[in-house]
Amino acid sequence: METIHLKSVDPISQDLLRLAAQNGTDLNWERYEKLQPQDGFLRLGLSCPFGCMQGPCRIDPFERGPQKGLCGMGRDEMAAAMILRLTLQGILEICNGRVPEESILKDKAIKDALAVYEGTSLSLPYMLQSISHLGSSHHSADHTILRAVQLGIASLGLTQPSNHKPDVNRSCKSGYGLLSDAGTVIGISGYPDKELIEKVCSAMTQASSSPVQLVSLGDWIIDDTGFVPIACTSGEAELLTSAGCIDLLVVGPSMEAGLVDLCSTLNIPKIATGDVEQFKKSIKLACEHSEKRSRTDFQPDASLVGEGNVSGINELERAFKDMGDKRLALIGGADTPHVSFGWIPVELSKALAGLDIQVSAWGDAALWMIKDGLASTENPSAAFILDPFEGPVQAVRALQSANKLKNLKGVCFTGLKGCRDFAVALGLAGLGLDVCVASPIPLWGSELVRNVLENVLSKSGGSFHHFDHPPHAQEILDWFTEK
């Protein structure tokens, strides 16, 4: 545990890590460490993404082994195809079962950017054509990267769920202190149906002898008053659950498999949509778990709760209009075990505020800022918290409406949770913005592809800065300040 500070900057999280180690509980950090060293070929983009069933083929980065795949594809085509595959997968994640239509792309800036890159729309035929594109190795790296950028830009028009209201301001509380005086605790992960959540809460209230508390384990879940209180970031969900303070887990389709497995190991009941036969049994087990749970294992201070206001689009436009010439930095993304949880967003936000640069945040990065008081209205340089479903896209739209896009210093993704984040990051760069991604991107096996990407993005004046290693907060601060 001598490297515990490399896992999280939060002292409470560090205490929970020690408790988990004493109990012999493996968490996401342990899985990450056991996977080291991770696949270097994949990290470089030199592992074939096509899935032609004759491979998989890999190219030796040191030029001592194979330099072409079975089909004759070289390193440049392979790395470019990897970027296209990640972007296309990101589009599919954003659509989440919806069929994309041209009418979805209403934003003039997106249409104008697509025109710069010779793209006109995002439709089902276009996506299917992109999928078939991945089944052939004869396309040049230039053509493949161009198509990836087109898809990235188009993804920006799909980030808003159809039933979401981005113009509404909503409050949010976050922090371990939410559990300081908890009775029976229901944890939510993965955006389950609202009807399921209400049904579970009603059943638990009737069955439990203690007050019932509902908390989210890192997901931004809307309720009637704002957001369901968020006890931890998504990266800390397993850690908090390992402390035994969650009595019942309600899961949705986007939940983390590791969290569900951990609940099974710890005998914590869980309920998902369709669990009709197990519903009553799970409620009963949750009540028993609550009654047996020790109140001394984890008793966080009640003051360890931060509050923030998630801005609607109209509020953001007004705030940006009032900024004058003040510069703005967008910071957000997911926790990743590549770097210490909370380190980059908190340190970066404080440093930028000290330089009189306004910060707007989304995702786990925003939760860290809320927990640290950096989004409090009592803070004179409080960070704006962006809509969790649109993230930086919401801020860019508000800046465009307020005629303040020139004030934007840059967009930093502190961690990529999935291909959705990658597609949005690439799309923002294609829109003409300066984008920095802290998660290593599989491009370092081909200098040509990196140059092609840089040249393609230069058409709109955008840039896509990325690292071949997990960066330090200072490296990202340097990127913001040296531009």
Backbone angles phi and psi of 268, in degrees to 5: -95, 120
pLDDT tens-digit map of 109-143: 777 888 888 766 666 677 777 777 776 667 788 98
pLDDT given for residue 45 in this prediction: 82
Q: Closest by alpha carbon to 149, among 80, 197, 213, 48?
A: 80
With H, G, I as helix, E, B as strand and everything else as coil, classify residue 7.
coil
Predicted confidence (pLDDT) at residue 1 exceeds the cutoff of 70: no
Of 121, 125, 128, residue with least CA distance to 150: 121
Quick one: tokens of 367? 């939760």
At residue 103, does pLDDT exceed 60? no
Contact predicate 291/185, CB 8 Å: no
**φ and ψ of 271, to 5 deg:** -135, 135
Two structure tokens written together for 266: 């710890």
What does the mean pLDDT of the chain come to?
A: 87
Q: What is the pLDDT of residues 280-303, one digit of tens each?
A: 888 988 888 888 876 556 788 888
Of 113-122, 337-346, 367-376, 468-477, give the lowest mean pLDDT range: 113-122
pTM: 0.92
93 has pLDDT over 90:
no
65-79, 313-327, 337-351, 359-373: the lowest-pLDDT one? 65-79
Task: Record the tokens describing residue 342, joined without a space.
Answer: 């909370």
pLDDT of residue 295: 57
Q: Does 310-482 match 176-292 at the fold level?
A: yes
Per CATH, domain 310-482 is 3.40.50.720? no
**Among 128, 129, 110, residue whose Cα is nearest residue 120:** 110
Token duo for residue 275: 């669990």
pLDDT at 257: 85
Name the band, by pLDDT with cuts 50, 70 and 90, for residue 166: low
Residue 37 per-residue DSSP state: S
Fold adopted by 176-292:
Rossmann fold (3.40.50)
Q: Is 405 helix (H, G, I), strand (E, B) or coil?
A: helix
Tokens of 86: 């990640």
User: 165 pLDDT band (50/70/90 cuts)?
Assistant: low
Q: What is the DSSP letter of 251?
A: E
| Cα 402 to chain centroid, rounded | 27
**Which backbone phi and psi does 111 adopt, to 5 degrees?**
-60, -40
- Asked if the model's pLDDT at residue 38 lies above 80, the reply is no
Q: Per DSSP, what are the bridge partners of residue 341?
A: 8
Is residue 104 pLDDT above 60, yes or no? no
Tell which wins on pLDDT, 289 or 174: 174
Burial class (CB in 10 A: 0-12, 13-18, 19+), 87: buried
Q: Which amino acid is at 424?
A: V
Torsion sign (Cα): 40, 43, 44, 47: positive
* pLDDT(2) > 60: no
Buried b (16+ CB within 10 A) or exposed e, 303-313: ebbbbbbbbbb
Summarised one tens digit per residue, pLDDT across range 181-214 is: 778 899 999 999 889 999 999 999 898 888 889 9
Could you state, in order of their start, the residue ranges of all structural domains in the chain? 4-34, 40-158, 176-292, 310-482
Does 4 have pLDDT greater than 90? no
Give the single-character DSSP code of 13. H
